[in-house]
A and B are shown apart, each in its own frame.
Chain A
Amino acid sequence: MNKMIDRRTLLKASGALIVAFSLPLDHIAAKMDAGAKTVSADRVDGFLAIAPDGQVTAYSGKVDLGTGVRTALTQIVAEELDVPINRVTIIEGDTALTPDQGTTSGSFSIQNGGMQLRRAAATARQALLRRAAARLECDISTLSIRDGVVTAASGSHLPIGDLADGSTLALDIEKAAPEKAPVEYTIVGKSVRRLDISDKVNASFTFMQDFKLPDMLHGRVVRPAGFGAKLVSYDESSIAGIPGIVKVVRINNFLGIVAKSEWSAIKAAQQLKVTWSTWQGLPEQSKIWEHVRSTPIVRDDVTSRIGGSRGALDAAPRKLEATYDFAIHTHGSIGPSCAVASFADGNLTCWTASQATHDLRKQLAAMLTVGGEKVRCIYVEGAGCYGRNGHEDAAADAALLARAVGKPVRVQWMRADEHGWDPKGPPTLLDMRAGIDPAGNVVAWESELFVPDGAAGLVPLTGADLAGLDSLGKLSPGGVLNDLAIPYAIPNVTTTAHRLQSTPLRPAWIRSPGRLQNTFANESFLDEIAAAIGTDPLDIRLQHLNDARGKELLERLARRSKWRERPKPDRNADVVTGRGLAYVKYELVRTYVGVVAEVEVNRKTGALAVKRFYVAHDCGQVINPNGLRNQIEGCIVQTMSRTLKEEVTFDRSMVTSLDWASYPILSFAEIPDIVIDLIDRVEEAPWGAGEATCAVVPSAIGGAVFEATGVRLHSVPFTPAKVLAALRAA
C-alpha cells in the first residue's frame, strides 16, 4: 500500500512547499499535475483520473476515519468502471486535489460521497465506451467493459488506459449517465477485505501520528489552568535544564513549546512554570441541569407540528410527563489529535486527520490572515474519529508553532489535552409530555429539547481563540435537531427545540449528535406510554407506524430475538434479566434500525450487564456486508460505553476527567454478544450506517431495565449509583 515517492516532483507541481524527500504515503503519490487538476465536484476529472497503464485514481473529499469506508468507495468505483479493485487508488481529503464533498460526518460518506463517485464513474464509463466505439468503428451498444478492457462484439478490444488521454474525462458529471444494474454487480455487495487492515496489523500503515518531515521539530501546547484564564507570566529558566528546546512560543494566551526531540517538548510542557489568572466561569457540575434550564434561549425551533397538541393534552384525561437528560461526552479517540505544519514561501501545508480539510483550510487561512490559496490541507488517517474532535485544533497549534520557528512542526496532544480540550457533546435535556384518551389511545405528544444554538458549522479553533485570532468559528453543536420529530403516527404533535445562547464546554458533534439524545428520550418515553396503557413495546411501535419497510424490519427483529416468546422476568430476584426494544428511522428519511437489548440488573449493586444485542438493520443497498457489520458492532459497543459509563466531569475552572481512570470506557469483560440481521436491498439507494445504530442503544438498555425492575432510567449515563437510586425511589 505504501510506496515511496519523490515529493519534490509532487509538491513543486502543486505550487506548495518544495522539499526533497521520500514519503511512505502513496495517496500523495497522487498526481504530479496537482496544480492543474480541477477539484470541481461537478466534473468527472474532479473525481477520477485514468493513467495510460489503466490505473484508476479516485479523488474523494470524504475520508476514511477508521471506518473502512475507503474500501467501500474503492468497490463502488471499481464496480462502476469495471476494473479490478486493485487498479483503483483513492486519494482522500487533499484540498489541492479532491473536491469539497463536505465534512466526513453524519453517515454520508457512501450515501452522498459514494454516489457522487458512482455517477462520476458511470459518466466516465460512457465516455470510454464512446471513445472505443469511434476507435473501433462500431456501435456503442456492441461494447462491454470487463477488467479494465473494452471488448467489441467482433472480439477486438482496447484497454481503458489506451482510451483515456487528458481530455477523455474532462466532462461534466451526467446525472443521467446509465449506472450498472445491481444484478450485474461482482464487487459491490461483497465482503471485500479492507485495504488497510493488513498494513495496520503489520505496523506498515502510516497514521497521522506517524507522519514525519525532514527537519521536523516537535511541539507541545501548554493550555491554561482554566478555560478562560489569562496568561500572566511564565519562567523560561524553569526548563533551562531540558536539552534541545528551540523556542517557547507565546501569542496572547496561546503558549507552546518547540523542541528538537518529542520527549524534550513533552517534558518542557510539563515543567514550564506558568502563572495563569484565576478563572472560575464554569457552572457547578452538580447543578448542570438547572444551569441548562436557566441559560438564555435565543430561539425556538419547532421541528414538527401536527394538529393541536396543547388542546389535545389539556383535554386528555390521562397525562404523562418525563424529563430525560444526557451527560457531556468526550470523543476519546485512542490516539490524541495530531498535525504537522510546514511553511515555505509564505505557503502553509498542513497534514491533518481532520474530517473536513476544506473547512480547515478556510479556518487556518483566516487565523493566519492569508488567502485560502496559500493553505493546503492534506488528509492523513488518524486514530478513530467520531466527529469533530481535536484534530483541527492540533492543526492550528502546529501552524502557529511552525510559523513562529520557521520549520516544520509536529504537534500531538497529550491525553489530558485531548480529554480536557477537545470539543464536547453538549449536555442535553428533554421534557416530554403525552396525553391518553379514555380508550387508551395516544392523542398528544409534546417534546421540548434544550440544546445549544448552531448547527454543524465551523467550530472555533482553540489555539486561535487563545492567541486572540479569528478562525471563523461559532457555536456549532452539530445537527442536533434531527430525530426530535417522531416516526410515529400520533394525531397531535409538537416538538420544539429551545436553542441556548451558550453551553459550558465548547461543543461539537460526536457520533449521532442530537439523534442519539433525542431518540433516547423519544423511544424511552414511548415505552413509558406503552407501560401506562398496558401495551407491549413492540406492539405500540407497530400500531403507530405507517411505514411498511419499518414494520417489516420490526417483525424481523421480533422473530430473530424471539421477542414475543421472551420469558417474564422475576422482579424479586437479586439479579434479574429484562429485554428492551427500540427503533429508529434515521432522521426520519433514511436507515432503519431496530434493536433488542438483554440486560441483567443487579438490584443489590445497581450494576447493569448487557448480555446481548439483536440488531435488524436496513440501510438499503449494502456495499460491503462485513464492513457494515463492523460498523454496527462499533455503534453498539461505543454507545453502550457512553450509555453506561461516560460523563465528563469538571470543576469551576476546567475539565477534571483528564485520563482513562477518571473517564472510563467499556472494557472487554463488558462486551455483549451482538446478533445482526442485515436487510440488503440491492435495488435501493445505499444509506449511511456509521451512526444510525447508535441512536437506539440507550433506550433499548433503559427498556430492558424497566422490564426487569419496573424502574425507568431517565439520565445517561446509567451508572450503578443512579440505578440504585432509581430502584430505591421506586
Chain B
Amino acid sequence: MATTSLSVNGRTVSVTIEDPDTPLLYILRNELGLHGPRFGCGLGQCGACTVHIDGTAVRSCVTPLSTVSGHIVTLEGLGTGTQPHPLQTAFIEEQAVQCGYCINGMIMQSADLLARNPKPSEQEVKSELASNLCRCGTHLRIVRAVMRAAAGS
C-alpha cells in the first residue's frame, strides 16, 4: 500500500494503491472516476487512453503510476459542457463522432498539437493523429473539426 499525490485537472488528489506499476489509466478511471480516457488496447497502439502530462499527450494505458510526475489533464479537465475547449465545440459543430470511443484520444492529441502549432495544415493534423485509431471511419470529420478549432483560435 502506498499513497501518492497527483495533480489532476488542477486539483491535488491523493490515491492509495497497492501496486505502483498500475498504469495511470486505471487510477484515473477507477480511483478518480474520470472516464474521458478509455481502455482500447493496453499497448499504446490506439490512443483511446490519451491524457496530458504537463501539456504533452501521453498514452495512460502504458504509463505506470510510479513514473508519473507533473500535471495531469484529462478530457474532463480540458473543458466542460458549459466551458468547452474550442476542440470540443468544433467536434460538436462538425458532428465529428460516430461511436465516440476514440474521440477522447482524438481531442487530447489534437489539443497538444494546437498548443504547439495553433495553425496546423491538414497534413500536420493527419500526421499528428497517425497513431490514433478510429474504427467507425470518422476521420474526415475529425480532421475538419481540428481545422475548425484551429481557424477559430
Contact = CB atoms under 8 A, between A and B. Distances in A.
A615 to B, nearest CB: 13
Interface stretch (A62-70, A80-88, A476-484): A62-70
Contacts of B143: 668, 671
Interface stretch (B52-60, B78-86, B113-121): B78-86
A210 B35 contact: yes
A674 interface: yes
Contact of B134 (A334, A412, A669): A334
Interface string A328-358: 0000111110000000000000000000000
Interface string B65-98: 0000000001110011100100010011001011
A277 interface: no
B44 to A, nearest CB: 10
Given A66-B98, A194-B97, A201 B130 contact: no
A382 B42 CA distance: 17
B4 interface: no
Contacts of B136: 66, 384, 634, 638
Given A263-B19, A633-B141, A674-B140, A202 B88 contact: yes
B130 A193 contact: no
A386 B134 CA distance: 13
A263 B38 CA distance: 14
A242 B133 CA distance: 32
B30 A261 contact: yes
A419 B101 CA distance: 17
B48 A334 contact: yes
Nearest to A634: B137
Given A203-B36, A334-B48, A637 B95 contact: no
A660 B39 contact: no
A67 B98 CA distance: 6
A203 B101 contact: no
A383 B99 contact: yes
Nearest to B48: A334
Contacts of B104: 203
Given A202-B79, A202-B84, A205-B100, A630 B138 contact: yes
B98 A634 contact: yes
Nearest to B129: A668
A415 B45 CA distance: 10
Contacts of B7: none
A412 B39 contact: yes
Contact of A665 (B38, B98, B129, B135): B135
Contacts of B95: 193-194, 197, 626-627, 630
Interface residues of A, number: 65
A635 to B, nearest CB: 7
Contacts of A666: 137, 139
A636 B98 CA distance: 14
A196 B95 CA distance: 10
B148 to A, nearest CB: 13
B63 interface: no
**Interface residue tally of chain B, by bracket?**
35 or more
B89 to A, nearest CB: 9
B61 to A, nearest CB: 10
A535 interface: no
Contacts of A204: 81
A196 B102 CA distance: 14
A345 to B, nearest CB: 28
Interface string A382-404: 11111000000000000000000
Contacts of B45: 415, 659-661
B133 A207 contact: no
Contacts of B101: 66, 207, 209, 333-335, 382-384
Query: What DSSP secondary structure best describes chain B's contact surface?
Result: loop
Given A334-B135, A630-B138, A201 B98 contact: no
Contacts of A200: 97, 100, 103
B105 to A, nearest CB: 9
A591 interface: no
B36 to A, nearest CB: 4
Contact of B103 (A201, A242, A638): A201
Given A66-B101, A200-B103, A667-B130, A414 B42 contact: yes
Interface in A627-658: 627, 630-631, 633-638, 641
Contacts of A209: 38-39, 101
B137 A637 contact: yes
A371 interface: no
A116 B45 CA distance: 42
Contacts of A263: 19, 21-23, 26
A335 B26 CA distance: 15
A161 B99 CA distance: 34
A334 B46 contact: yes
B91 A665 contact: no
A335 B98 contact: no
Contact of A264 (B19, B103, B126, B130): B19
Contacts of B18: 243-244, 261, 264
Given A202-B88, A334-B48, A335-B48, A197 B100 contact: yes
Which of A201, A334, A336, A641 counts the most B-chain CB atoms under 10 A from its CB? A201
A437 interface: no
A660 B141 contact: no
Which of B23, B74, B136 counts the most A-chain CB atoms under 10 A from its CB? B136
Contact of B41 (A244, A634, A659, A669): A659
Contacts of B41: 415, 659-660
A122 B19 CA distance: 58
Contacts of B35: 203, 205-207, 210
A384 B98 contact: yes
A261 B18 CA distance: 10
B137 A66 contact: no
Which of B103, B134, B143 counts the most A-chain CB atoms under 10 A from its CB? B134
Contacts of A383: 38, 40, 99, 101, 135
5 contacts: A201-B88, A267-B19, A383-B99, A414-B42, A630-B141
Given A194-B95, A196-B100, A415-B42, 6 more contacts: A201-B91, A209-B101, A242-B19, A334-B101, A334-B134, A668-B129
